[in-house]
A and B are shown apart, each in its own frame.
Chain A
Amino acid sequence: MRRACLIISILLLISCGNSCAVIGRGKNFRPFDENMLTQVTPGKTTASEVAILFGAPSQIVKLSNGNAYVYERSVEKVTGLWLVVLSFGNFDTQYDRIVFFLNKDDVVSHYGSSFKTGAASYAMPF
């Protein structure tokens, strides 16, 4: 029993000595500012004004009665832990998105936004 405890203790010590932890952060960056949304008024703001305020959209979707401009950026946080025989990885990706619906006259009819990149976190997978 004593010998088994000794062996387990030695293994644990070795595993602690050989362990390794990694954190990483990745960003798909686009320089749009959520505070600029206060300057957007549905029925008034035009597509060119949206482009001046937020830059070129990440994606343009053609719709039957106009277009939609999509702005998107993301943050990925990675956590890794390597013990001798056991390793863990956690990958968390979150997005900031703004979408503008433009009518046939290129005027904003609706818009929506969600800013969630702050919710990306470093964690373990359990």
Chain B
Amino acid sequence: MYPIMAVVLKQGQHLMRCHSNNIKWIITAMLIGQVILGCVSFHIDKINVGVDIPPPPDEFKAGNTSLQEVLNRYGAPAEIVNMEGHFALHYQRTMGRAGHISIGVPLIDVLKAGPELTARANLLSHDTLVFVFTPAGLLEDMVYEKGTSRPLWGTFWKMGP
């Protein structure tokens, strides 16, 4: 009895191995099929609005610099803001990154349902330069922020708004 059982067990193990190999191949084929059928997709976008804005030069000083000097250096602003007497020139450049990952299971013909998991993310960052002028056109204040130099990944996951 014993040798017969050993043969049966061996054949069983062989069959299991064959099945295991088949399952691996089936899973691999399904994954490749999903990729080919477009059920897995990645999308990456980059958005750029405006040109690079350099920081204000050292010679720009509140109380000394005129409106014409700023216009000569930076050109026309994106926006002019009336501040009840005072006014501001607003220069801005926007950069954006967006990503989209989608994984779907193409079972719509079999189960009449097609489960899909999608993750989207986008991050807009801004370089901003604001000059505030007196009604007479003399520089009163300026603010510069280089938002696009911040790290993409760290900024996106940073806590808070």
Nearest-CB residue, chain A, relative to B77 = A99
CB distance from B37 to the nearest CB of A (A): 9
Nearest-CB residue, chain A, relative to B86 = A64
| CB 8 Å contact bits of A76-98 with B (1 = contact, 0 = none) | 00000000111111111111011
B40 adjacent to A85 (CB under 8 Å): yes
CB distance from A66 to the nearest CB of B (A): 9
User: Which residues from B are CB-within-8-Å of A64?
Assistant: 82, 84-87, 135
Q: How far is the CA of A112 from the CA of B67 in the complex (A)?
A: 10
| CB 8 Å contact bits of B79-123 with A (1 = contact, 0 = none) | 011101111000000000100000000000000000000000000
Interface of B (DSSP majority class): mixed
CB distance from A80 to the nearest CB of B (A): 9
User: Which residues from B are CB-within-8-Å of A52?
Assistant: none
User: Which residues from A are CB-within-8-Å of B85?
Assistant: 64
**Contact of A125 with B44 at beta-carbon distance under 8 Å, contacts A98-B76, A112-B71 already known:** yes
CB distance from A17 to the nearest CB of B (A): 11
A99 adjacent to B80 (CB under 8 Å): yes
Number of A-B contacts (CB under 8 A): 104
Contact size range, A: 35 or more
- Residue with the highest number of chain B CB atoms closer than 10 Å, among A63, A94, A126: A63
* Interface segment, one of B15-23, B48-56, B57-65, B153-161: B48-56
* Interface assignment of A111: CB less than 8 Å from any CB of chain B: yes
CB distance from B107 to the nearest CB of A (A): 19
Q: Of B44, B47, B70, B76, which contacts A97 at CB under 8 A? A: B76
Nearest-CB residue, chain A, relative to B34 = A85
CB distance from A33 to the nearest CB of B (A): 15
Q: How far is the CA of A110 from the CA of B133 in the complex (A)?
A: 13
Q: Of B32, B42, B72, B135, which contacts A11 at CB under 8 A? A: B32
User: Which residues from B are CB-within-8-Å of A1?
Assistant: none
**Contact of A91 with B40 at beta-carbon distance under 8 Å, contacts A62-B82, A110-B68 already known:** no
Could you show 12 A-B contacts with beta carbons less than 8 Å apart?
A64-B82, A64-B86, A65-B136, A70-B76, A85-B41, A89-B44, A89-B46, A92-B48, A98-B76, A99-B80, A101-B137, A112-B68
Given contacts A87-B43, A93-B50, 17 further A-B contacts (CB under 8 A): A7-B32, A61-B80, A62-B82, A63-B80, A64-B82, A64-B86, A85-B41, A86-B43, A89-B45, A89-B46, A97-B77, A99-B71, A101-B137, A110-B67, A112-B72, A116-B51, A126-B44
